[in-house]
Chains A and B, each alone.
Chain A
Amino acid sequence: MTMTDPAMAATPRAANDSLPERLPINAVPVRHWKQWIAAAILIVLLAATLLSLATNDNIHYPTIGEYLFNPSILKGLGVTFQLAIIAMLAGIVIGILVAVARMSTNRVLNAVAEGYIWLFRGVPLLVQLLLFGNFALLAPELGIAIPFTDTVLLGVDTNKVITPFMAAILALSLHEGAYMAEVVRGGILAVDKGQSEAATAVGMTRGLAMRRIVLPQALRVIIPPTGNQFITLLKATALVAVIAGHDLMSTAQNISAQNYRTIELLLVASVWYLAIVSILSFLQRMLERRLSRGVER
């Protein structure tokens, strides 16, 4: 074997003859001893916390078990669910409409959409709930007033229409709609501009292009943050307690007002919120996995 080109000597091909077929890597792995120390410290801390909670005389554990499946609590849980689902669906519809309005070339629509987002995202949800809950103070009667006269058509008592449940739905939906509008807008902006151009070029109007081409593609971007929004909304329903909305949190507070087991009932509510959020998080992960599979098809 004669080697004239010195570069050839370094190539694997040249060395191949003297090597075995396979080259196992029997290297010593890096030891993560820092991680082990951190884990040990955390386990000790966690154990101490659990121990102090379990042995705390101020928590009466049987009460938690007693109220976890209490009919009132379960009914409150149902109301919480209803509030979250209705407000979320309304929020999605509002969000799509407002996002499209915000991106339209119509300046009036634009300004209205922007104003809506500014208002309902800016005022704290707690304040909105109280405002809708006390709507009767602002307008004792609802109806269609004829301007400059005292005539009111279809006048009804405000408190009959805007029940605490209705007030909660209104406040939660309008609040959610403002956030969803931004989520939807982000999704729409993520769709390549060439898609709507191609749609326009084959004769579609803006609306049709939005419905058939842009929104279906935006969905993939919109769904994951919508899952987050739903979880946030579900927990936000607890605020409804301030207007006595008969939801999980309100019910828990009502019960503890009578039996003075404040911490126990707060823990009952926490267990339920955690349970639902865990289930939702799981569903969200499944959905995201399905969606990401769609990309590679």
Chain B
Amino acid sequence: MTTTTPTGSILSVDQNPDAMVSIRRVHKSFGDNEVLRGIDLDVQQGEVLCLLGPSGSGKSTLLRCINTLETIDEGRIWVDGDLIGYRERAGRLRALNAKEMAAQRRHIGMVFQRFNLFANMTAVENVMEAPVHVAGSKRAQARAKALELLDRVGLSSHANHYPAQLSGGQQQRVAIARALAMEPRLMLFDEPTSALDPELVGEVLEVMRGLAQSGMTMIVVTHEIAFARDVGDSLVFMAEGRVVETGHPREVIDNPKTDRMRQFLAVRNAV
């Protein structure tokens, strides 16, 4: 019904205009597999939202939909007031072309589980790549800023190292600096510490904690319950493509209301 009604207002109905991220009734399928089954979420400016859920519940897919690495089948996503992936014209939605989508992604930083640093570039080159080749910054300027960012993640002495010469924790910190170089309004983290040796998890979480304190809006998919509890402003628990529980991290973790969440926490605590 909503898809064919040609009025402008229906497209932005119940969008939270103050929110940094506003997600409404998002559905996404891969073939017959419906991975997201009607997601509604708001993330306020400066909020750190931790997204928990069992493997396969659609957490990564949701993040990837927010920065259009995947397209959604139904629903709307706004980031900082901009509708993601579409433009409204004459009361109808029109898909953005590849260039416009790329422009939208610039302001959404993403950190991957497997770091995905550009293997053919040093740490500092990784960080300055997008400012120079996407945003058109001057090399010298981009370099200075990249070194500053590397310093911020504690890696100024590793600026000229290639990814293969860095530990997982160091690579992930460079990846965070790389995302920050584009001055994102929103940072997405997809299990940033899951691929790390246990002793390297702390240094990455520390950088993320600093980022949260600086006021960055963050959506963090994580299995680090302690991090969610200490740093998170809100917690969302997903299962089978739906939001099952949401609330303040401490309350949700200490007093889960659903069996699904209780089970999830019990398994986590057991290991």
B179 neighbours in A (Cβ, 8 Å) = 201-202
Which one of A14-22, A41-49, A62-70, A206-214 is at the interface? Answer: A206-214
Beta-carbon contact of B105 and A203 below 8 Å: yes
- For B98, B116, B175, the residue with the greatest tally of chain A CB atoms inside 10 Å of its CB is B116
Interface string of B85-110 (1 = CB under 8 A from A): 00000000000001100110110111
A216 to B118 CA separation, bound complex (whole angstroms): 10
A219 (CB) vs chain B CBs: closest residue:
B120
Which one of A25-33, A190-198, A229-237, A265-273 is at the interface? Answer: A190-198
Answer yes or no: B164 CB below 8 A from chain A CBs: yes
Which one of B26-34, B73-81, B127-135 is at the interface? Answer: B127-135
Beta-carbon contact of A199 and B118 below 8 Å: yes
Answer yes or no: B1 CB below 8 A from chain A CBs: no
Beta-carbon contact of B134 and A195 below 8 Å: no
Q: CB within 8 Å of A: which of B108-122? A: 108-110, 112, 114, 116-120
A199 neighbours in B (Cβ, 8 Å) = 118
A193 (CB) vs chain B CBs: closest residue:
B116
B131 (CB) vs chain A CBs: closest residue:
A202
Answer yes or no: A205 CB below 8 A from chain B CBs: yes
Beta-carbon contact of A200 and B105 below 8 Å: yes
Beta-carbon contact of A206 and B182 below 8 Å: no
Contact flag A217-B105 (CB < 8 Å), given A202-B134, A206-B98: no
Option from B108, B117, B130 in Cβ contact (under 8 Å) with A204: B130
B193 neighbours in A (Cβ, 8 Å) = none
Beta-carbon contact of B102 and A205 below 8 Å: yes
Least CB distance from A294 to B in Å reads 9
Least CB distance from B115 to A in Å reads 8
Option from A194, A202, A205, A217 in Cβ contact (under 8 Å) with B98: A205
A206 neighbours in B (Cβ, 8 Å) = 98
A289 neighbours in B (Cβ, 8 Å) = none
Answer yes or no: A13 CB below 8 A from chain B CBs: no
A-B contact count (CB 8 A): 70
Beta-carbon contact of A197 and B98 below 8 Å: no
Beta-carbon contact of B112 and A198 below 8 Å: yes
Least CB distance from B183 to A in Å reads 11
Answer yes or no: A297 CB below 8 A from chain B CBs: yes
Beta-carbon contact of B120 and A194 below 8 Å: no
Answer yes or no: B67 CB below 8 A from chain A CBs: yes
A202 neighbours in B (Cβ, 8 Å) = 105-106, 109, 129-130, 134, 178-179, 181-182
Option from B99, B119, B130, B135 in Cβ contact (under 8 Å) with A195: B119
Beta-carbon contact of B119 and A212 below 8 Å: no
A205 neighbours in B (Cβ, 8 Å) = 98-99, 102
Option from A194, A203, A217 in Cβ contact (under 8 Å) with B130: A203
Beta-carbon contact of A297 and B162 below 8 Å: yes
Q: Give the interface residue-count category, chain A.
A: 20 to 34
B104 (CB) vs chain A CBs: closest residue:
A203
Least CB distance from B121 to A in Å reads 8
B175 neighbours in A (Cβ, 8 Å) = 198
Contact flag A213-B182 (CB < 8 Å), given A194-B114, A205-B99: no
Least CB distance from B174 to A in Å reads 11
Option from A194, A203, A213 in Cβ contact (under 8 Å) with B102: A203
Answer yes or no: B165 CB below 8 A from chain A CBs: yes
Least CB distance from B37 to A in Å reads 24
A203 to B108 CA separation, bound complex (whole angstroms): 9
B118 (CB) vs chain A CBs: closest residue:
A213
Q: CB within 8 Å of B: which of A255-297? A: 295-297
A296 to B114 CA separation, bound complex (whole angstroms): 19
B164 neighbours in A (Cβ, 8 Å) = 295-297
Least CB distance from B181 to A in Å reads 8
Answer yes or no: B69 CB below 8 A from chain A CBs: yes
Beta-carbon contact of A201 and B117 below 8 Å: no
Beta-carbon contact of A195 and B98 below 8 Å: no
Least CB distance from A106 to B in Å reads 11
Beta-carbon contact of B134 and A194 below 8 Å: no
A204 (CB) vs chain B CBs: closest residue:
B134
Beta-carbon contact of B110 and A195 below 8 Å: no
A203 to B67 CA separation, bound complex (whole angstroms): 10
- For A198, A213, A296, the residue with the greatest tally of chain B CB atoms inside 10 Å of its CB is A198
Contacts A200-B69, A203-B103, A295-B164 aside, 16 further interface pairs with beta carbons under 8 A come to A194-B114, A194-B116, A198-B117, A200-B102, A201-B69, A201-B109, A202-B105, A202-B109, A202-B178, A202-B179, A203-B134, A204-B102, A204-B133, A204-B134, A208-B133, A217-B119
Q: List 21 A-B contacts (CB under 8 A).
A: A194-B112, A194-B116, A198-B110, A198-B118, A198-B178, A201-B69, A201-B108, A201-B112, A202-B105, A202-B109, A202-B179, A202-B181, A203-B102, A203-B103, A203-B135, A203-B182, A205-B99, A212-B129, A216-B120, A217-B119, A295-B164
